[in-house]
Structure 1
């Protein structure tokens, strides 16, 4: 099966909590009028300052705080199956980028990622993804702390999907996915899928697998998905710059 993500090393363990920093809006300063200030004029000035400051603070809060994270959420995703046996990374990346409003073909991504018949290197994919995300003030990092850690995997997917409203690429061992059990020969078959939904109460994550024979939309327990992740880099974690 040549649908593999190459086993090139992927590094970069991110901190558990992502801090968001927004540009914000500078506080407006009201210049006092010259001459004698009457009591009524001073009251009007105070009211104006209060109004401007409140509006400024509201703007800053909006730019700094993420969208409230719901207990469950599913994005609208432009679903795609991979065009070749070895296009799983370009296909999943194209779907992920579509949640940023970016439309780019699998072929274009494959050229940028130097995809071969052996697959695509994880670090190369992250670099290409960042070329699209950084101008939009987002960052993509390959993290391995989610491997065999379903609670952290659920936390990271919930943040990306529920708060940022973006779909991260997930790097898995293809033969370990439940829907491929007994259907594939071989071990350590690297593969890429995309996560675009979750339900914290049920403990499940919804993914789209671009491999047409067995793929499509699947909802899987986070505990099961965590066991399929590639060691050293199971998820392309999205955060704000």
Structure 2
């Protein structure tokens, strides 16, 4: 038998642009970027949990920060009963189209803010301000504009953070390849 093409509506009705209403958080310590970003992401579910509670559950340390393998089970425990799960895909690294599709699906369709794993020193607003290379950092995406090709993020780092709009192409180039984001999907 010859294979038949199947049509899907996935992404068909995703708005061209969308921005979530979000209360930004600054990380309470220099190494709380994952707890801060996770707390903001969970807030889009109406779940209020402190950075310190998340940091404790995620085994966050001053020397090593937070490992994704420790963070994912913690945030999944909060959203599972609501019919969602976070996963850590690797296909958006260097791929602006995949990144925009993932971000717009989470924000425009699900109205949730995904956590993004980035190289901190490569963020345009940190140019020349960070010592070292491949400094792992977590931010969240909470808006996008497909026509302009931009993504609006909130960076929880106190010195340079806050709301920033960045091109999807630039952002895709600074994602951590081992796990680009905490991507949300329905169970």
Shorter chain as denominator, the TM-score bin is over 0.9
- Alignment map for 1:101-180 (pairs within 5 Å): 101-117=46-62, 118-180=64-126
Provide structure 1 residue ranges, at least 5 long, that are not aligned to the other structure: 1-18, 20-64
> Cα distance, 1:226 vs. partner?
0.4
Structure 1 segment 34-73 matched on structure 2, within 5 A:
68-73=13-18
Contact 1:67 1:163 in 2 (8 A): no
For the pair shown, the structure with the greater C-alpha radius of gyration is 1
Mapped to 2, the partners of 1:186 and 1:221 lie a distance apart of: 24
Q: Secondary structure at the match of 1:208?
A: strand
TM-score, scaled relative to structure 2: 0.92
CA distance in structure 2 between the partners assigned to 1:226 and 1:197 by the alignment: 15
CA distance in 2, matches of 1:92, 1:68: 27
After TM superposition, where is structure 1 displaced by more than 3 Å over at least 4 residues in a row? 65-68
Tell whether 2:28 aligns with 1:83: yes
1:222 maps onto 2:168 in alignment = yes
Q: What displacement does 1:131 show? A: 0.3
Q: Distance in 2 between matches of 1:174 and 1:214?
A: 11
The structure carrying a bigger helix percent of its residues is 1
For 2:22 and 2:127, the matched residues in 1 are separated by 26
1:123, CA displacement in angstroms? 1.5
What is the number of residues matched between the two proteins? Answer: 179
Q: Is the 8 A contact 1:173 1:229 kept in 2?
A: yes
Question: 1:68 Cα shift?
Answer: 3.8
Q: Which residue of 1 aligns with 2:37?
A: 92
Root-mean-square deviation (Å):
1.7
Give ranges in structure 2 of 5+ residues lacking alignment. Answer: 1-7
Specify the alignment match of 1:192 in structure 2.
138
Counterpart of 1:210 (choices 146, 156, 161) is 156
Alignment TM-score, normalising by the size of structure 1: 0.72
CA distance in 2, matches of 1:94, 1:106: 6
Deviation at residue 184 of structure 1 after TM alignment: 1.1
Q: How far 1:182 moved relative to its partner?
A: 1.1
